[in-house]
Amino acid sequence: MDPDRTDAQSAGRRLLRRGARGVRRTVARRPRAFVYLAIVGPGVITAAAGNDAGGIATFASVGADYGYQFLWLLIPLTISLGIVQEMCARMGAVTGKGLSDLIREKFGVRWTAVVMLALLVANGGVTISEFVGIAAATEVVGIPRFASVPIAAIAIWWLVVKGTYQRVERVFLAMSLVFLAYVMAAFMAHPPWLTVAKEIVHPHFEFNPVFLFSLVAVVGTTISPYMQVFIQSSVVEKGVRPENYRFTKIDVWVGTVLAILIVFFIVVSTAATLNAHGEHIETADQAARALRPLAGPYAEILFAVGLFGASMLAAGVLPLATAYSISEAFGFEKGVSSSFREAPIFVGVFTFLVVLGAVIAMTPGLSLINILLVTQVVNGVLLPVILIAILKLINDRELMGRQVNGPIYNAAAGLTTVVVSALSILVVLSSLFPNLFRR
C-alpha cells in the first residue's frame, strides 16, 4: 500500500476523532443552548444554500409570473425538505459515513459511478450558474465580470482549501443573513395578505409545459441533490454521534423552516411588486425591482449584495459537496482541513469545478435567468434517483439499527419520491412532445 495514502487516511481519521471528542466534551460541560451552538451548522448552512442564485431567480420568476399561486407548494416542500435532510443527517451520525460512501457499499461501484457522473454534470451546471450570479450581481453595480469573477473564484478556493472547516462554516452562516432583506421588502410592498393566506391553502396546478417547468424548478432548487450529500458529509466531519444527534436534528428543522420562510417572502415581494404591474423577469435588474419598497433607488444595490452573497455561499458549497461525493464514492481521502498532498482527488475536483464555473461565467452574452432556471430543472429531474437510494439506505436495519425510519417518515418520503418522479417524467414528456400538453 502507498505509504502517503496510509498517512493521509490516518490523518483524516485523527481529525474526525478530535472533532468527535470536542463535541462530546461540549455536551458534557455546557448547557443545552451552548451545545446547540457548538453543533449548529450543517442543517442551517445546507438549507440556506438552497436559496442561492438559482433559487432567487426561480422564486422571483414564479412570483412575477404567477403571483401568489405557488405559495401552497411551500407547505409540502417544508415537510419534504426537512424529512430528506433529517434522514441524511441521521445516517451521517449513525454510520459515520457520507452518502456516496454508503451508496458504493450497498449498491456497488458501477451503479455508484453512474450516479456520481450524473451528480457531477448537474452540480457542474449549478456551479456555473452561481458564478453567473456573481457576474450579474457585480455588473448591476458597474463592476465587469472579467474583474469580479476571478477574484470571487480565488477567494472561494482559498477559503475552503487553505482555511479550516470551522471558518468556512462561520463565513457561510454570515452570508445567509443577506436574505433577510426580502422579509422587509415583502411587508413594505403591502401585499393583499388575505389573498396570500388563501393561496397558501389553495393548491393551484396547470397542465402545461411552462407551468410544469416552473414547478419542477421550484422543487429542484428547494430539495437539490447536492444538499443531501453536503449535509451528511458535514455531519460526519463535524463528529456528530447518535448520543448528541438530537441537537443536529433541531438544527436541520430550524434551517428548513428559516429557508422556506425566506422563499415565502421572496415570492410575496415579487408578486406584490412585479406581478401586480405585469412585469416579467429576464434580467437581474428587473429582479431587483422587488426590493424597491424597501430600498427605493438603492434597490439594485441591495439586490446585488444579496445575489452576490447567495452566489458566493453556493459557489463554495456546491463544488465542496461534489468533491465530497466523488471522494467518498471511490474511497479517496477527503476533508476541507486536508492539504492537496493528503487529499488530491478531493481538492482537485473542488478546484476544477471552481475554475470551470468562473471561466464559463466570464463568457459574454449569457442569460442569467435562463441558465439558472434550466439548472434547477436538471436538479429536479435527478432528485428521484438520490431519494430512492436514501430511502433504501435509511431503512436498512443492518446499517441503521434502531434508527431506521418510522412509518410516517417512510410515507412522507415515499410520497415525495413518487410525486417528484411523476413531475420529472411530465417535464421530459412536455419537452419532447409539447403538442400533447396543449389545450
Mean pLDDT to the nearest integer, 326-344: 80
pLDDT at 12: 40
Local confidence band at 437 (pLDDT 50, 70, 90 cut-offs): low
CB 204 within 8 A of CB 62: no
Whether the per-residue pLDDT at 169 is higher than 70: the answer is: no
CB 123 within 8 A of CB 226: yes
Local confidence band at 438 (pLDDT 50, 70, 90 cut-offs): low
Tell me which of 29-38, 116-125, 178-187, 220-229 is least confident.
29-38
CB 307 within 8 A of CB 138: no
SS3 362: coil
pLDDT at 105: 87
Whether the per-residue pLDDT at 72 is higher than 60: the answer is: yes
Whether the per-residue pLDDT at 288 is higher than 80: the answer is: no
Tell if the pTM clears 0.75, that is, is over it: yes
pLDDT in tens, 359-380: 988 887 766 667 777 777 877 8
Whether the per-residue pLDDT at 434 is higher than 80: the answer is: no
Mean pLDDT to the nearest integer, 46-53: 68
pLDDT at 40: 54
Q: What count of residues does the chain have?
A: 439
More confident residue, 169 or 389: 389
Mean pLDDT to the nearest integer, 331-338: 76
Q: Please report which residue ranges of 50-164 form alpha helices under DSSP H.
A: 53-66, 74-95, 99-107, 109-140, 145-162
- Domain boundaries defined on the chain: 3-437
Closest of 199, 161, 158, 134 to residue 361, by C-alpha? 134
> How remote is the C-alpha of 369 from its chain's centroid?
18
Pull the grid cell for residue 141: 453595480
pLDDT at 355: 95
Mean pLDDT of the chain: 80
Whether the per-residue pLDDT at 431 is higher than 50: the answer is: yes
- Counting beta carbons within 10 angstroms of the beta carbon of residue 344, is it exposed (0 to 12), middle (13 to 18) or buried (19 or more)? middle
Whether the per-residue pLDDT at 309 is higher than 50: the answer is: yes
Nearest-angstrom CA–CA distance, 382 and 425: 11
Q: How far is CA 432 from CA 103, 209, 436, in A?
A: 32, 10, 9
pLDDT in tens, 261-280: 989 999 999 999 888 888 88
> How remote is the C-alpha of 150 from its chain's centroid?
23
Nearest-angstrom CA–CA distance, 320 and 215: 27
Alpha-carbon torsion (157, 258, 260, 290), positive or negative: negative
Nearest-angstrom CA–CA distance, 49 and 102: 24
DSSP code of 116? H
Local confidence band at 92 (pLDDT 50, 70, 90 cut-offs): very high
CB 152 within 8 A of CB 315: yes
Closest of 57, 54, 46 to residue 267, by C-alpha? 57
Nearest-angstrom CA–CA distance, 22 and 16: 10
pLDDT in tens, 372-430: 777 778 778 878 888 888 999 999 999 999 999 999 999 999 999 899 888 888 887 87
Q: Does domain 3-437 have CATH number 2.40.40.20?
A: no
Residue 337: phi and psi, rounded to 5, are -90, 0
More confident residue, 254 or 337: 254
Nearest-angstrom CA–CA distance, 255 and 39: 13
The single-letter code of the amino acid at 81 is L
pLDDT at 7: 42
CB 232 within 8 A of CB 98: yes
The single-letter code of the amino acid at 257 is V
Pull the grid cell for residue 41: 451548522
pLDDT at 18: 39
Local confidence band at 222 (pLDDT 50, 70, 90 cut-offs): confident
The single-letter code of the amino acid at 216 is V
Closest of 47, 224, 212, 208 to residue 125, by C-alpha? 224
Nearest-angstrom CA–CA distance, 179 and 131: 18
